[in-house]
Chain A
Amino acid sequence: MKILNFSADTLCLLTIIAIVFPFLSFLMIILGKQYKKSTISIFNISISFISSLLIFSNLWNGEVVHQQVEWFSVGSYVFSAGFLLNNLSVLMMVLVSGISLLVHVYSTAYMKGDENIHKYWAYLGLFCFSMMALVVADSLLLIYMFWELVGFSSFLLIGFWFTKAAASQAAKKAFIMNRIGDIGFLTGMMIIYAQFGTFDIVKLFGNGGLIDSASIVDGMWISASAEMSVIWLSLAGFAFFMGTMAKSAQFPLHTWLPDAMEGPTSVSSLIHAATMVAAGVFLLGRIYPLFDSLVLNIITVIGIFTAFMGATIALTQNDIKRILAYSTISQLGFMVAAMGIGAYGESIFHLATHAFFKCLLFLAAGAVIHQLHYHKKQHNLEFDHQDIRLMGGLRKQMPIAFITMSIAAAALAGFPFTSGFLSKDAILITSFEWAEGYNGFKKLVPYIFMLTSWITVFYIARLIFRVFFGKPRYEGIKEASSVMNRVLVVLAFCSLFLLFSFNPFSFDGSWILHGFVSSGVKRFSVLHVIIPEIVTITSIVIVFMAYRIYGSGATKTFPENGLIYRFSNRAWYFDTAYRFLFVRPVESISRFSYKFDKLIVDGLVNLLAVGVDILSGISDWFDRNIIDGFVNGISSFARKTGDFTRQFQSGKLQHYLVTMLTVVIAIFILTYFI
Chain B
Amino acid sequence: MIPLSHFMLISAVLFCIGLYAVLTKRNAIQVLIGIEFMINAAILNFVAFGQFDKIKGGGQMFALFAIVLAAAGVAVALAIILNVYKHFRTIDPAKIDTLKD
Contact = CB atoms under 8 A, between A and B. Distances in A.
A652 B100 contact: yes
B22 A651 contact: no
B19 interface: yes
A651 B100 contact: yes
A646 B22 CA distance: 22
B4 interface: no
B22 A657 contact: yes
Interface in A633-666: 646, 649-654, 657-658, 661
Contact of A652 (B22, B25, B96): B96
B34 to A, nearest CB: 10
A658 B23 contact: yes
A646 B101 contact: yes
Q: Chain B interface: which size bin? A: 10 to 19
A381 to B, nearest CB: 104
Interface string B5-47: 0000000000000010011110000010000000000000000
Nearest to B99: A651
A668 to B, nearest CB: 13
A649 B31 CA distance: 20
A654 B26 CA distance: 9
A654 B22 contact: yes
B contacts with A: majority SS: loop
B93 interface: yes
Nearest to B95: A652
Nearest to B19: A661
A652 B94 contact: yes
Contacts of A652: 93-94, 96-97, 100
Given A652-B93, A652-B94, A661 B99 contact: no
A658 B94 CA distance: 13
B37 to A, nearest CB: 14
Most buried by B among A649, A654, A658: A654
Interface string B74-93: 00000000000000000001
A657 B21 CA distance: 12
Contact of B24 (A646, A649, A654): A654
Most buried by A among B25, B97, B98: B97
Contact of B23 (A649, A651, A657): A657
Nearest to A646: B101
A159 B24 CA distance: 104
A651 B24 contact: no
A654 B94 CA distance: 7
Contacts of B93: 652-654
Nearest to A645: B101
Contacts of A658: 23
A672 to B, nearest CB: 15
10 contacts: A651-B96, A651-B98, A651-B100, A652-B93, A654-B23, A654-B25, A654-B31, A654-B93, A654-B94, A657-B23
Interface of A: 646, 649-654, 657-658, 661
Return the 3 tightest CB-CB contacts between A and B, nearest first.
A651-B100, A651-B97, A649-B101
